[in-house]
Structure 1
Amino acid sequence: MNFSDIDFLIIGSGKSATTWLQMQLQSDPAVYMPDPEIHFFSRNYDRGEDWYLSQFDNAGLGKTIGEKSNSYLDAPDAVPLIKRHLHHVKLIAQLRNPVERAYSNYCMRFRRGELGADIESYLKPSLAGHTRLLSSGKYANYLQSFVDHFGREKLLFLFFEGVAGDPEGQMSQVRAHLGLRQYPLTSDGGKKVKDKTAPNVPAELSKRLGWMKPIVRPLRGTAPFETARGWLAREIHYPPLTDDLRYRLIDYYRPSITALEELSGQSVSHWYGPSD
């Protein structure tokens, strides 16, 4: 496996159904993608080129090969490193309303026990300069760098709404961008891959049972495992995103949304929400 064998990267954004996108591509026998997010150009570059290439199975040779690492979108050094090794690569960015993305990210970390219930202390715009939770939603700032290095034609802009509203059309755009033949969606192609409303094992209990994870990992997905997990899982009640906080976040992201529309050539005016 060589760098020249890698054809495309899904660069983000996080919490924007990029896992759905990956699963649709992996279902196509003409495509090869490794399962984990490798994060080589953003977090693991010091592991070396051989480590990166070892993440790809040689069984993928002869297929359209790519990987998904959402951290590439806003990592400061990712763009020049990608350009250095993968100057030929095609890029896909799937983006979500930045207010909804920030709230979804907050809920994920709240579910894990990483953030507390005082949502204002994590999502108020005055914190934007100090937290990636908010700053990573200023997509245009990061995507302009990709356009500058690779050219506009190498970058496909997709939007989260297309996954639920027109999943077949969404994938048709991806396949055209990658030069792939059309291929049917998976049987659950219209469903969410991850659902924050699903019951989860409470964070504190999960931490206490952490020592068991290596033991039960081979059982994941089996009926006994899912039954036991069902006994422990509870519905999670998330702190709500208030209208006042939503309006302040819309105002914070407004210049970036406008810049994204100019860069992508597509309107996302519905992201401005009820404040308009």
Structure 2
Amino acid sequence: MLKECNILRRFTCRRNIFIMYGVTISVCFFIYMVSILVLSSVTSGDAILRTNNVRTLQTSYDDVTGTDNTDISSNLNSGIMTSGSSDLNQRKEQKNKWNYNDKQGSLFLDDEDIAHQKKKSRTRGLHIDNKNKTKRLPNAIIIGVKKAGTRALLEYLRLHPDVKAPGPEPHFFDKNYNKGLNWYRNLMPETSKGQITVEKTPSYFVTKGIPERVYRMSKKMKLIVVFRDPVTRAISDYAQLVSRNPNVKSFEEMVFVNNRTRIVDTSWTIVKIGVYAQHLARWLEYFPIRQFHFVSGENLIKNPASEMQRIQEFLGLEQYITAENFTFNQTKGFPCYKKETKTSGWHCLNEEKGRRHPGIDHSVKRRLEDFYRPFNIKLYSMTGQDFGWS
């Protein structure tokens, strides 16, 4: 009897052991299957995400077309500005699409450019690293205006060791846009970390379609505009035209539709450029006013150091360019400059700068002043800056 009880006890013990093993194996198998399902779901999600990112990043940078010349309506002579609401709505709708694409990962600047633009330091320290130089897209663009002092401004900026600029005007956004972003980047000089790239093309400011294209490249682009009294600017532009074509008609014949009525010919490009408020309005559809810096062309001649102080602050540069870098050339009527205040000699702009203006009748100037006055007042309001023109 005792022997039978021991056999029964051993049997019960072995049965319990087998049950425990069975439960353990079942739990392990269940965990294994759950792990496989989770890993499969994550892998599938990553593949879909990568596919979506590739599709998004394949967005064409060259799908914007059209570089029509500025079209100023005939009612400019009455001082009225108009704009097409349908065109404005289309621009805003397209802009929203670009914002959405940016949120999804569509970047028109590479990661290196974005990191460079996000640098918060307002002082770059003038520490130039000659290693790891590369060509970068511009951090700022001088977009206008023609015959207002853009060339002088760029030359003054070149005095700063942390500023680099390409040689000739790139004209990428208005004439060479179909060549692509890589072509544009290759035009830029090599820069080190801590340096910035600035390009200048004055026709950008007055050409339709350019704000959209710049916005697509970089929503945070810094934009510099040099303004000059529009009447003086128009005469200077005409003087350059005469130097290249001595047989051109007189200024009076070209500026008016009819000399008897003295109606200003708003189809003449030299006149259209000076309607600054209308051109700026197109840019403000894409960029906030804080991303603009407006330079007085007159003050850039009279007091270049003060203008350069403000520009260096706007670009986040150390105050390297000072009054010691400039001297005034009484003969040319323009400042001359030098890079190293103690060692280098003075450099003046070429012979084209300071060209003598043709004599224009005072009544013609007064008529142009009357024409531009409402647009000048509008510009003062838009920029918060009074340029002091008549």
Question: TM-score range, shorter-chain basis?
Answer: 0.7 to 0.9
Unaligned runs of 5+ in 1: 198-229, 231-235
Coordinate RMSD, CA, aligned: 2.6
Matched letter for residue 218 of structure 2? L
What is the identity, as a one-letter code, of the residue corresponding to 2:371?
Y
Instruction: Please tell me whether the aligned partners of residues 143 and 225 of structure 2 are also in contact (alpha carbons under 8 angstroms).
Output: yes
Distance 1:115 1:29, change over 3 A: farther
Q: Mean alpha-carbon deviation: is it higher for 119-128 or for 50-59?
A: 119-128
Number of the residue aligned with 1:165: 302
Instruction: Give yes or no for contact 2:309–2:322 (8 Å, CA) kept in 1.
Output: no
Q: What is residue 65 of structure 1 aligned with on the other side? A: 197
Would the aligned equivalents of 2:239 and 2:356 in 1 still touch at CA under 8 Å? Answer: no
Matched residue type, 1:88 = K
SS of aligned partner of 1:150: coil
Aligned to 2:279: 142
Matched, 1:261 2:261: no
What is the CA-CA distance between 1:260 and the residue it aligns to? 0.5
Q: Which residue does 1:42 correspond to in 2?
A: 174
- Give secondary structure in 2 for the equivalent of 1:261: helix
2:315 to 178, 182, 189: 178
Q: What SS is found at the alignment partner of 1:267?
A: coil
Amino acid in structure 1 at the alignment position of 2:326: G
Larger Rg: 2
Which whole-Å CA distance do the structure 2 matches of 1:83 and 1:143 have between them? 14
Cα contact 1:107–1:238 (8 A) shared by 2: yes
Shift, 1:148, TM fit: 2.6
Contact 1:73–1:142 (CA under 8 A) maintained in structure 2: yes
Question: Which protein has greater RCO, CA pairs closer than 8 Å, 6+ apart?
Answer: 1
Question: Given the superposition, is the C-alpha separation of residues 108 and 179 from structure 1 closer, same or farther in structure 2, using an over 3 Å criterion?
Answer: same
What SS does the corresponding residue of 1:248 show, helix, strand or coil? helix
Query: How far 1:35 sits from its partner (Å)?
Result: 1.8
Q: What is the CA distance between 1:130 and its match in structure 2?
A: 1.6
The TM-score, its normalising length taken from structure 1, stands at 0.76
For the residues of structure 2 that align with 1:261 and 1:127, how far apart are their CA atoms? 22
| Offset, 1:186 | 8.4
Partner SS for 2:142 = strand
Equivalent AA in structure 1 for residue 307 of structure 2: Q
Q: For 1:1-276, what aligned pairs fall within 5 Å after superposition?
A: 4=114, 5=136, 6-59=138-191, 62-113=194-245, 116-124=248-256, 126=263, 128-185=265-322, 189-191=326-328, 239-268=358-387, 270-272=388-390
Match of 1:94, SS state, is strand
What is the aligned length? 233
Aligned identity (percent) is 27
- Structure 2 unmatched runs, 5+: 1-108, 115-135, 258-262, 335-350
After superposition, what is the alpha-carbon deviation per residue over 1:95-130, rounded to whole angstroms, capped at 9, x for unaligned? 000000000000011011166252212223745332
Structure 1 residues 167 and 65: CA distance shift in structure 2, 3 A: same
Distance 1:24 1:252, change over 3 A: same
Question: Does the 8 Å CA contact 1:96/1:160 hold for their aligned counterparts?
Answer: yes
Bigger Cα displacement from structure 2, 165-174 vs 92-101: 165-174
- Cα 1:238/1:117, change in 2 over 3 Å: farther
| In 1, Cα distance between equivalents of 2:187 and 2:333 | 29
Higher mean alpha-carbon deviation, 96-105 vs 9-18, is at 9-18
One-letter identity of the residue aligned with 2:174:
S
- CA–CA distance in 2 between the matches of 1:196 and 1:128? 31
The separation in 2 between residues aligned to 1:167 and 1:90, in whole angstroms, is 20
